[in-house]
Structure 1
Amino acid sequence: MIEVAKEAAIESGKITLSLQGKRHTFIGKEKLGDFTTEADITSEKKILSILQTKFPDHNFISEEIGKIDNGSDYWWIIDPLDGTIPYTSGLRTFGVSIGLLKDKKPILGVVNLPAMESLFWAEEGKGAFLNGQEVKVKANNDLSEAIVAFGLGHRQERQKMLNELVMPIADEVRYPPVVDCAVFGGSMVAAGIYDAFVHYAYPWDFAAAAVLTTEAGGKVTDLKGKPIDWFQPRIMYVASNGLLHDEILSLIE
């Protein structure tokens, strides 16, 4: 299954790259600041065509089409283009995310950051990889030396995020960057670049990156330190190197 997921992520990444420089028509969703474009839709169609051909009986949750429930124990959770705003602004921080749950637990993840030529993948019990090289989380247990990144979400949520999440942590760490693409932020934890990433996100934003992070030696939970419920509409979560996880949670309780 991992090879099929990689193929889907690579092919959809080619589509997003080919369309990035074109003029985009934005289609607003239910939240101010949440948009989709023809690139999202075309990328999603490519991913689904590959996955559904190989696994027609599996279930699917994708950002654009929603849920397809075939009664399977397997759920593919897909973001065909995460980081639409940086993507349409010409930035490189956008990506394709394909995760797989079995019995409600993430077991496989692929993230393609095509503008960076970075393909991440991981399977349960087999480690995490970037372009074929195994990656590990950063072995840092000193919060004052940590890089803890944040996603600030939609415009109307940012003040709450700043007050309740960013400010309690920002003064305790070495650097608190704001990240404009959730799959990028999660992948950077797995790659040992960030020590942690805190975000309020949709399941498709980090299902794949959660597998990457845990297989690289890290930890992913909700703000209470509990496993993620992947069928909630939005989830506040922390992905970390594991060594700093409890300390970060204690600051935002």
Structure 2
Amino acid sequence: MQNEINIPIILDAVRKVGNVFLKDYKQNAIPQTMEELLKQLDDIDTICLASLKEDLSAEFPDIIWHIGDEFDTNSQRNPAQQGDYWLCDAMDGAIQYLQHIAGWTINLVLVREGKPVFSVIFDPFANEMFWAKDGDGAFMNDQSLKISSKTDLAVMLAVFEYGHQDKSDNYLNEKIGSTVTHLLKNFGIVRNYGPHGLQLAYVGAGRIDLFVQEDLDTYNWIAGLLIAKEAGAEILTTNGNPWKWGDENLLVAPKNTTEKYLKITK
């Protein structure tokens, strides 16, 4: 795949735009109205996409672009019906960025025949570049990633997340509440952090022991899923089946930890 994908060019392009945002971090006023919030979110998307297209289109002229809109639930159920394409989450954790809080990243995924084959998540604040190639491992900067080897739930860090879809009439709030209760009763440390992809990359790096989410959030997951998988984590649904694009929940952890979690919830 190295002959097909110029990895340094991709990483440099993502690092470049991430550092642009780092330079401007905390320079804008925190939005106080919905109008201000939406305007700043739109500006982030515009700046990020323009920079990435400028730096990558010459090297990859035949790869088209697709924006991952996590607010569009239906579009997340299936991969786009096209050939190779970039799936860009301009800023995962953009709310943290606008609120002057750490925990925001630039995420980019190359999708081929409906599956992610290369992904990168760059955390400018920590200067950490997580990336993975399908079948060739996962890395943080130049170091191979390794999942946690913990066996005691009492010393494990578990995280839960939730998406943006309406939860008023589909029992999702109850499912999320039940999930959090299971975590609090059984895991030593439970957190909710924000940037979904980065948390999944942290599972790959052994920093987080388990990630679970009870609603559909494909675009926020997809970059981190490849990184976690290539580092050795299991990628499952919350009922223990192998996860596939469009599944409406997600469980990611080392195999021994997913087995413990599934026993707890059943």
Do both share a fold (TM > 0.5)? yes
Q: Aligned residue for 1:32? A: none
Q: Aligned residue for 1:8? A: 13
Kindly report which structure 2 residues correspond to 1:169-188, keeping only aligned pairs within 5 A, or say none. Answer: 169-188=183-202
More strand by share: 1
TM-score w.r.t. length of structure 1? 0.83
For each residue in 1:189-219, what CA deviation from the matched residue of structure 2 results, as whole angstroms up to 9, or x when unmatched?
1111111112345322121211111111112
TM-score w.r.t. length of structure 2? 0.80
Counterpart of 1:240 (choices 253, 259, 262) is 253
CA distance in 2, matches of 1:48, 1:210: 23
> Residue 190 in 1 paired to residue 201 in 2?
no
Counterpart of 2:161 (choices 146, 151, 170) is 151
Counterpart of 2:100 (choices 86, 90, 95) is 90
For each residue in 1:77-115, what CA deviation from the matched residue of structure 2 results, as whole angstroms up to 9, or x when unmatched?
221101111111111100011122222222211110101
The alpha-carbon deviation at position 139 of structure 1 amounts to: 0.8
CA distance in 2, matches of 1:50, 1:201: 31
Whose Rg is larger? Answer: 2
Q: Which runs of 5+ in 2 are unaligned?
A: none
> Residue 208 in 1 paired to residue 223 in 2?
yes
Counterpart of 1:26 (choices 16, 24, 37) is 37
The count of corresponding residues between Structure 1 and Structure 2 is 244
For each residue in 1:151-183, what CA deviation from the matched residue of structure 2 results, as whole angstroms up to 9, or x when unmatched?
244496484354232112221111111111112
Q: Which runs of 5+ in 1 are unaligned?
A: 29-34
For each residue in 1:203-251, what CA deviation from the matched residue of structure 2 results, as whole angstroms up to 9, or x when unmatched?
2212121111111111222223334433x3x842122123211332344
CA distance in 1, matches of 2:175, 2:92: 20
> Residue 75 in 1 paired to residue 85 in 2?
yes
- CA RMSD in angstroms, aligned pairs only: 2.8
CA distance in 1, matches of 2:58, 2:261: 42
Residues 37 and 107 (structure 1), Cα distance of their counterparts in 2 relative to 1, 3 Å cut: same
The range that moved more, 157-166 or 188-197, is 157-166
- Determine what percentage of the aligned residue pairs are the same residue: 20
| Conserved 8 A contact 1:44-1:80 | yes
The alpha-carbon deviation at position 70 of structure 1 amounts to: 8.0
| Conserved 8 A contact 1:169-1:251 | no
Residues 53 and 161 (structure 1), Cα distance of their counterparts in 2 relative to 1, 3 Å cut: farther
SS in 2 for 1:98: strand
